[in-house]
Amino acid sequence: MEEIAFFDSGIGGLTVLKETIKILPFENYIYFADIDNVPYGTKPKEEVRKYIFDAVDFLIKQKAKMIVIACNTATSVAIKDLRKNFSIPIVGMEPAVKPALEKNGNKKVLVLATSLTLAEQKLKELIETYDKNHQVDKLPLDGLVRFAENFDFESQDVINYLKNEFAKININEYGTLVLGCTHFLYFKKAIKNLIPKETLLIDGNEGTARNIKRILCEKSLINNNGNSNIKFFASKKENSQLARLWKDLLDSYNP
């Protein structure tokens, strides 16, 4: 029984898994969260790279047929080296800058992500390629990762944090906000309440799910029937309680 393995520093990647199950309902899945080391986005690149390689080694030992790096930060830091070192298909994520610019006309685009994603060469190259009219700005929202790991998605503390961060820019200038961190998807409602009604929020989850399906099809690795199963793993030794919490979150999360 070969699985598709999803990896994130914490619960963010569950949002990508949910989107993927919708279009690949007969696959078996592994979800691995590196909760000993979350958050990644505020740590030095070399330290994060080591965590990622450890996680991928673990997932390869589970005999996964594909690995999905359901984390923009981990993708920015390590996707090239991972593909050099491992031969199984590895799918990554990147902030949805291109679709944001296509949808946006001539209004500005704001990329929301972790500090590490925003500092990385990968995003710089993406912006250089598509942002011909210099419409793209960036804003780190590292605090949301901590809130998410505490399952706190809409408390007054979350709202105050967002208000504070948005006060650093003129939010009304932006036609589209890109959710460039998988943890941020849980805060769609909180963010929507603080921005103009017509501002679009976009993310890369649906595109990533389609990409996963396309690659499985190309490699004849797709499962077309049977029951879908999900195994949860965390870097902490004891994780049975967490697995239950994650399963509930996955069931209740509504993109």
* 209 near ligand DGL, judged by CB under 6 A: no
Q: Which stretch binds ligand DGL (CB under 6 A): 33-41, 77-85, 220-228, 231-239?
A: 33-41
Which residue in 90, 181, 216, 250 is the catalytic one? 181
Please select the residue that binds ligand DGL; options are 32, 39, 51, 147, rule is CB under 6 A: 39
Confirm or reject binding of residue 203 to ligand DGL (CB under 6 A): no
DSSP type of residue 186: G
Contact 64, 3 (CB under 8 A): yes
Q: How far apart are CA 127 and CA 130, in angstroms?
A: 5
Residue 41, interface with ligand DGL (CB under 6 A)? yes
User: Alpha helices, DSSP H only, in the chain?
Assistant: 14-23, 45-61, 72-85, 97-104, 115-119, 121-130, 143-149, 156-166, 188-192, 205-218, 240-252
Catalytic residue among 55, 67, 68, 71: 71
Whether 71 is a known active-site residue: answer yes
d(CA 222, CA 212): 10
Residue holding tokens 């830091």? Answer: 77
Known catalytic membership, residue 217: no
Rounded to whole angstroms, how far apart are CA atoms 172 and 4?
A: 40
**Size, binding site for ligand DGL by CB under 6 A:** 16
Residues 67-106 that bind ligand DGL (CB under 6 A): 71-73
- Which of 3, 6, 7, 8 forms a contact with ligand DGL (CB under 6 A)? 8
* Sequence-separated (6 or more) residues with CB below 8 Å from residue 101: 109, 130, 131, 135, 136
If one asks whether residue 147 binds ligand DGL (CB under 6 A), the answer comes out as no
Among the listed ranges 53-61, 162-170, 179-187, 195-203, the one in contact with ligand DGL (CB under 6 A) is: 179-187
What's the token pair of residue 230?
């999900």
* By the rule CB under 6 A, 182 interacts with ligand DGL: yes
As measured in angstroms, the least distance from the Cβ of 153 to ligand DGL is: 14
CA distances from 82 to 68, 79, 106 (A): 11, 5, 36
CB 61 within 8 A of CB 5: no
Q: Of 37-45, 82-90, 209-217, 243-251, which segment contacts ligand DGL by CB under 6 A?
A: 37-45
Q: Out of 28, 104, 114, 205, point to the residue binding ligand DGL (CB under 6 A).
A: 114
Which is nearer to ligand DGL, 38 or 127 (by Cβ)? Answer: 38
Give the C-alpha separation, 33 to 236, whole Å. 9
119 three-state secondary structure: helix
From 14, 30, 38, 202, residue interacting with ligand DGL (rule: CB under 6 A): 38
Return residues touching ligand DGL (CB under 6 A).
8-9, 12, 38-41, 71-73, 114, 117, 145, 181-183
Residues assigned a catalytic role: 71, 181
